[in-house]
């Protein structure tokens, strides 16, 4: 908290190798967040700075344009080349009470092998520190890879999903969280590119159970590590379509020198007319994040309120303290008594401010809690 009012800040980390859909997911999060929150609830979501606004606009234009032109290629988005921080503000309407969350995007290749140069390695170390310190970890998972690998290539899945690398980061995060049990701790497993497998995106077949089974199977050791190292952490499963209006036509294994096993799975899509984005699951992701972060802000604010209440009581007692006739007279004459009273008034005011903040956050939580989540969200612990 500072002089301009309370600012609550949280970190959100994404964990996925390259080309899974991290950058698209972040851009979709703000676009969808604005649509959802501006319509439904007592809070609004905005980009906190210009770089965030610009990056989201670029991604949104690129994706919408390609879909309108019906040219959807799997490698449409330019690869992320540097770490970038997306800063979003969640604000209760009409109140100066911003909750800021920073989302880190980085080249997925760094998670795979730490980068190719010492400069990359240095930057990746910074990213790892951010990830370890995040309140929430989102793990986007390539559904096409999980579902279309086929028996012949099934043995490549674990290495292509980079399960080991993800487990390393998650372990460090979990140990960190265990030391700070008063802070939020949540991991969300988000299969992406799952338009073809879930019936609510227009797919004729329902393979949602199989998709979930595959995720739990492939990431079972990661799940175990979290439960062991940070038992208080919540684990959620939430499949997401960032496009929704595309359909998988085929997926073929093609030679690729850098990939584990020397091959990658290349999907081909068809755009469903009229080519407008129908995002799925992102609304639940936003609700999850908002509730988790507002709830943490509430806990933090309650602590501050309690501390300030104690301070206010203490300074009031000191201001009212009688120290004997002559001493009291002296305190009055030299202005010390009124100085103590001013301090006590000041502390009382700061206490009331914190109490007001807590109350506002509780109101926001109540508003957020009214929204029911969709059928895609599941608890994994
Ligand atoms: N079908 C489908 N493709 C997606 C989805 N999200 C991302 N993609 C594709 O995956 C590619 C990689 O996405 P990107 O966000 O750049 O991944 P990053 O490397 O993890 O940041 C993009 O070019 C998109 O074509 C999705 O929800 N559905
Ligand atoms: Mg990227």
Query: Which whole-number Å values give the CA distances from 337 to 97, 332, 347, in the listed order?
Result: 35, 5, 16
CB atoms within 10 A of CB 269: 23
pLDDT at 377: 94
pLDDT at 341: 97
At residue 77, φ and ψ (nearest 5 deg) are -80, 135
Give the contacts of 200 (CB within 8 A, at least 6 positions apart). 280, 374, 375, 376
Closest residue to atom 10 of ligand 1, CA basis: 21
pLDDT per residue over 282-336, tens digit each?
999 998 998 888 888 999 999 999 999 999 999 999 999 999 999 999 999 999 9
Specify the ligand 1 atom closest to the Cα of 59. 15
8-state DSSP, 338: H
pLDDT at 96: 79
Check if 278 has its Cβ closer than 6 Å to any atom of ligand 1: no
Specify the ligand 1 atom closest to the Cα of 77. 23
pLDDT at 74: 60
Q: Which positions of the chain have pLDDT values less than 50?
A: 1-3
Specify the ligand 1 atom closest to the Cα of 74. 25
pLDDT at 1: 41
24 and 32 in contact (C-beta within 8 Å)?
no
pLDDT at 180: 87
| Residue spans per domain, the chain | 8-296, 299-371
Separation of alpha carbons 64 and 278, rounded Å? 11
* Cα 241 to middle of ligand 1, angstroms: 10
Element spanning 142, H or E = strand 136-142
pLDDT at 2: 42
CATH 3.40.50.300 is held by the domain 8-296: yes
At residue 240, φ and ψ (nearest 5 deg) are -130, 135
Check if 18 has its Cβ closer than 6 Å to any atom of ligand 1: yes
pLDDT at 40: 61
Sheet of 43-47, strand order: 43-47, 84-92, 99-105, 8-14, 136-142, 186-192, 234-237, 378-379
Query: Which whole-number Å values give the CA distances from 237 to 32, 34, 129, 342, 381, in the listed order?
Result: 19, 23, 24, 53, 10
Element spanning 354, H or E = helix 336-369
Closest residue to atom 5 of ligand 1, CA basis: 193
pLDDT at 41: 64
pLDDT per residue over 182-229, tens digit each?
788 999 999 999 999 998 877 788 999 999 999 999 999 999 999 999
Separation of alpha carbons 126 and 104, rounded Å? 11
* Cα 193 to middle of ligand 1, angstroms: 7
Write out the DSSP string of 60-92: HHHHHHHHHTT---TT-SPPP-S-EEEEEEEEE
CA 210 from centroid of its chain's CA atoms: 26
């Amino acid at each position: 908290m500072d002089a301009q009012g309370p600012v609550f800040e949280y970190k959100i980390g994404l964990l996925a190798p390259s080309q899974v859909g991290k950058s698209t997911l972040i851009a979709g999060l703000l676009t969808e967040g604005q649509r959802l929150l501006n319509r439904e609830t007592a809070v609004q979501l905005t980009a906190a700075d210009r770089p965030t606004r610009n990056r989201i606009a670029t991604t949104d234009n690129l994706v919408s344009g390609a879909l309108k032109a019906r040219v959807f290629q799997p490698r449409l988005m330019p690869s992320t080349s540097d770490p970038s921080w997306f800063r979003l503000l969640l604000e209760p309407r009409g109140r100066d009470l911003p909750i800021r969350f920073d989302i880190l995007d980085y080249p997925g290749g760094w998670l795979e092998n730490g980068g190719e140069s010492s400069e990359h390695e240095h930057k990746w170390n910074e990213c790892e520190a951010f990830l370890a310190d995040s309140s929430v970890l989102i793990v986007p998972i390539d559904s096409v890879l999980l579902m279309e690998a086929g028996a012949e290539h099934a043995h490549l899945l674990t290495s292509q999903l980079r399960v080991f690398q993800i487990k390393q980061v998650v372990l460090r995060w979990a140990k960190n969280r265990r030391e700070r049990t008063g802070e939020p701790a949540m991991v969300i497993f988000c299969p992406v590119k799952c338009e073809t497998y879930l019936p609510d995106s227009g797919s004729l077949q329902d393979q949602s159970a199989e998709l979930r089974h595959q995720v739990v199977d492939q990431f079972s050791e990661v799940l175990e590590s979290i439960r062991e190292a940070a038992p208080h952490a919540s684990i959620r499963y939430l499949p997401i379509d960032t496009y929704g209006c595309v359909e998988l036509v085929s997926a073929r294994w093609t030679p690729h020198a850098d990939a584990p096993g020397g091959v990658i799975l290349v999907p081909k899509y068809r755009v469903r007319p009229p080519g407008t984005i129908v995002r799925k699951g992102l609304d639940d992701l936003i609700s999850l994040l908002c509730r988790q972060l507002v709830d943490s802000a509430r806990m933090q604010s309650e602590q501050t309120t309690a501390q300030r209440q104690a301070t206010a009581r203490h300074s009031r007692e000191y201001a009212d303290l009688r120290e004997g006739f002559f001493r009291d007279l002296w305190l009055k004459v030299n202005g010390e008594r009124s100085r103590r009273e001013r301090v006590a008034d000041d502390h009382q005011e700061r206490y009331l401010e914190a109490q007001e903040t807590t109350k506002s956050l509780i109101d926001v939580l109540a508003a957020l809690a009214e929204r029911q989540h969709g059928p895609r969200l599941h608890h994994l612990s």
